């Protein structure tokens, strides 16, 4: 009874909304709601994680024994595994890739359990020492909430996708207090069209996220920093070389991530993955404690030049005084951070790659500047703080393949645009080199492999969003290879209004060929041939066959173009399913294009 009442209330509201609120204005209202919810999700996730991490690292480890650095990551991953198996009871992917998949394959529809799955698991993964970030889980949580809100109010697919972008914008804006970078992130990563109709909802959601961050945290930011050292023209070669280093690091990051991802994918047992990944992570964190958790404390200490606080918590308890030791430690952090992250993911941990990218970039930038300053062969002193910031932007832009996001994020974090030129130099070089060797980012490589990636190529995006199964026509009368001409005429031709007939095997339903009405027209009225000519005598091979399991929409379009056919048969698992007509395909494409571009 309550459900019926709730439904009637919702129905009455929707009818009232249709009459009194224009659709565009309603989208603006939803963008405010989505931005606030995304911000609340970000605050909740951060606070839960930091509470756990502070409780364990500040109290237990410091007061008892360093060995807990080995134990806690395994405990956290085990708790995550148990929650996934016994509480959520569904398999769910990592943050942003799972959101991209929902947009590409499920019309932006995300399951209800995705609204809380990351909230329950990511804090235990990261809080107990998992070497991953919270930005991905925050974005996926906000996106799932946005998707379900969109379904509640019966919005169309384009609006649902836009609101998912608004959710990611609100989440990133709340985390970093970087509203412009948050908008650019949604446009670059989710391939949203930059139009006035889409920009305003993104802007509203970004403002909502930032205001919520100010409400809870005041003026505090996750990376508090103010520029002190100025940029000079003679630093350009160094920033250019840093661009090359960040590109190599981005490629290393992606290759290592993919290697371990594929390795753990081949392990069928989740328990075995947990043991291998958990033990591997525990060993790395035990010997290199700065890799514990997200690592923003290390980034902030490096930015401030507090190398003792950033690196002195090492296994040998060596005090940090020697410059070469600091350089060696920084290089080690760059090398092992992604390995620790990969073990975390492989063990079943929930997190993202945004923070590891920032971590590796900051450490790399500091490593490079300190190395040049220590060598001092040109008697030139580089600003280690500035190179730390620019290094962050370089690796972030290379790994995510979102260069504008990286530039604007660091520019906003520093409170100005004094580093804008070196940011552009480093990120541009890094992005160009990385893109040459790696066409797709970590976020998009899996979708790109299956041809389901939505990009800013509008034609390709529309093809990706189209549903092939919905285009299949099944009102074709099949015939069998041993049917004679008389049976074909009386059982197929007379009963069908189509001029094409699939020839299928009677037992396996496999497609043997096709018969066109033009093939039998000259003989179909000659009754003397009715028993002499069989279907297999007059059938021909189909000009092309569409494989429902393997062919992507772009390949289907190409088959129609190459064959010049108006109808092509469709098979699934080697069995005949139906036909797709070119006219219906093009009509569906035009409709999807209109839906995709309207706001």
Q: What is the pLDDT of residues 128-163, one digit of tens each?
A: 999 999 999 999 999 999 999 998 888 887 888 899
415-453 as b/e, with b when 16 or more CB fall inside 10 Å? eeeebeebbbbbbbbbbebbbeebebbbbbbbbeeebbb
Please answer whether residues 79 and 128 qualify as being in contact, where contact means their C-beta atoms are separated by less than 8 angstroms.
yes
Q: Which residues have CB under 8 Å from 10's CB, separation 6+?
A: 152
Q: What is the DSSP string of 450-470?
A: HT----S-HHHHHHHHS-SGG
d(CA 212, CA 258): 36
- Name the nearest CA neighbour of 353 among 50, 125, 95, 133: 133
Tens digits of per-residue pLDDT, 323-343? 888 898 999 999 999 999 999
Q: How far apart are CA 323 and CA 350, in angstroms?
A: 36
Q: What is the largest CA-CA distance in the chain?
A: 104
pTM of the model: 0.80
Torsion of CA 129, 130, 136, 141, to 10 degrees: -70
Residue 450's contacts (CB-CB under 8 Å, 6 or more residues apart) are 552
Contacts of 528 (CB under 8 A, 6+ apart): none
Integer angstrom CA distances of residue 281 from 62, 125, 136, 247, 591? 20, 11, 20, 25, 50
Contacts of 36 by beta carbon, 8 Å cutoff, 6+ apart: 170, 208, 209, 212
The structural domains of the chain, ordered by start, are: 2-217 (1.10.3080.10), 233-456 (1.10.3080.10), 463-597 (3.10.580.10)
CB atoms under 10 Å from CB of 476, counted, come to 18
Nearest to 349 by CA among 171, 134, 111: 134
- The angle that helices 95-105 and 135-152 make with each other, rounded to 10 degrees, is 30
pLDDT, one tens digit for every residue, the chain (599 residues): 445 555 578 778 778 777 888 888 899 999 999 999 999 999 999 999 988 888 876 655 554 556 777 888 999 999 999 999 999 988 776 678 888 888 777 778 888 899 999 999 999 999 999 999 999 999 999 999 999 999 888 888 788 889 999 999 999 999 999 999 999 999 888 877 667 778 899 999 999 999 999 999 988 888 887 777 888 888 999 999 999 999 999 999 999 999 999 999 999 899 999 999 999 999 999 888 899 889 898 999 898 888 877 776 655 556 667 788 889 899 999 999 999 999 999 999 999 999 999 999 999 999 999 999 988 866 778 889 999 999 999 999 999 999 999 999 998 988 767 889 999 999 999 999 999 999 888 887 776 665 555 555 555 556 566 677 888 888 888 999 998 988 888 888 888 888 899 999 888 889 999 998 888 888 888 888 888 888 888 888 989 999 988 887 778 888 888 888 888 999 988 899 999 888 888 877 777 666 655 54
Q: Which of helix, strand or coil describes residue 484?
A: strand
Neighbours of 267 (CB within 10 A): 15
């Amino acid at each position: 009874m309550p459900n019926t009442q709730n439904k009637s209330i919702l129905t009455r509201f929707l009818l009232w909304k249709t009459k009194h609120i224009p659709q565009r204005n309603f989208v603006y209202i939803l963008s405010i709601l989505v931005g606030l919810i995304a911000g609340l999700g970000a605050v909740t996730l951060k606070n839960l994680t930091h509470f756990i991490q502070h409780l364990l690292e500040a109290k237990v480890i410091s007061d008892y024994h360093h060995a807990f650095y080995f134990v806690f990551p395994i405990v956290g991953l085990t708790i995550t595994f148990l929650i996934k198996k016994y509480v959520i009871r569904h398999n769910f992917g990592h943050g942003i890739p799972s959101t991209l998949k929902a947009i590409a394959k499920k019309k932006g529809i995300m399951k209800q359990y995705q609204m809380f799955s990351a909230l329950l698991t990511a804090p235990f993964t990261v809080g107990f020492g998992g070497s991953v970030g919270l930005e991905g889980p925050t974005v996926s949580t906000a996106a799932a909430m946005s998707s379900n809100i969109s379904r509640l109010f019966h919005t169309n697919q384009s609006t649902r996708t836009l609101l998912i972008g608004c959710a990611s914008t609100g989440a990133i804006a709340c985390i970093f207090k970087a509203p412009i970078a948050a908008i650019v992130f949604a446009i670059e990563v989710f391939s949203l069209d930059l139009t006035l109709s889409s920009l305003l909802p993104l802007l509203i959601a970004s403002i909502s996220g930032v205001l919520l961050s100010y409400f809870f945290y005041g003026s505090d930011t996750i990376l508090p920093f103010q520029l002190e050292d100025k940029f000079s023209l003679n630093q350009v070669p160094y920033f250019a070389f840093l661009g090359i280093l960040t590109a190599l690091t981005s490629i290393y990051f992606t290759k290592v991530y993919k290697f371990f991802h594929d390795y753990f994918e081949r392990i069928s047992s989740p328990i075995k993955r947990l043991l291998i990944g958990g033990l591997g992570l525990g060993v790395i964190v035990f010997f290199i404690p700065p890799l514990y958790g997200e690592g923003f404390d290390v980034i902030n200490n490096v930015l401030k030049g507090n190398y003792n606080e950033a690196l002195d918590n090492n296994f040998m308890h060596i005090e940090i005084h020697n410059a070469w030791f600091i350089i060696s430690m920084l290089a080690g952090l760059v090398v092992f951070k992604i390995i620790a992250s990969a073990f975390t993911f492989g063990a079943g941990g929930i997190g993202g790659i945004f923070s590891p990218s920032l971590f590796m970039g900051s450490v790399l930038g500091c490593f490079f500047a300190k190395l040049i300053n220590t060598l001092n062969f040109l008697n030139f002193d580089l600003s280690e703080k500035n190179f730390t910031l620019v290094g962050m932007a370089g690796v972030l832009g290379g790994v995510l393949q979102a260069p504008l996001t990286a530039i604007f994020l660091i520019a906003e974090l520093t409170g100005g645009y004094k580093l804008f030129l070196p940011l552009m130099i480093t990120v541009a070089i890094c992005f160009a080199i990385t893109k040459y060797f790696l066409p797709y980012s970590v976020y998009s490589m899996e979708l790109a492999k299956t041809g389901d990636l939505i990009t800013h190529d509008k034609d390709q995006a529309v093809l990706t969003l189209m549903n092939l199964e919905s285009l299949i026509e099944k009102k074709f009368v099949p015939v069998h290879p041993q049917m004679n001409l008389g049976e074909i005429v009386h059982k197929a031709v007379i009963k069908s209004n189509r001029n094409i007939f699939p020839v299928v095997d009677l037992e396996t339903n496999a497609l043997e060929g096709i018969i066109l009405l033009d093939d039998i027209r000259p003989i179909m009225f000659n009754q003397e041939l009715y028993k002499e000519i069989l279907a297999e005598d007059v059938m021909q091979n189909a000009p092309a066959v569409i494989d429902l399991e393997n062919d992507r929409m772009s390949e289907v379009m190409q088959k129609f173009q190459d064959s010049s056919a108006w109808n092509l048969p469709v098979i699934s698992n080697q069995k005949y399913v139906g036909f797709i007509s070119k006219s219906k395909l093009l009509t569906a494409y035009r409709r999807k294009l209109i839906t995709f571009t309207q706001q």
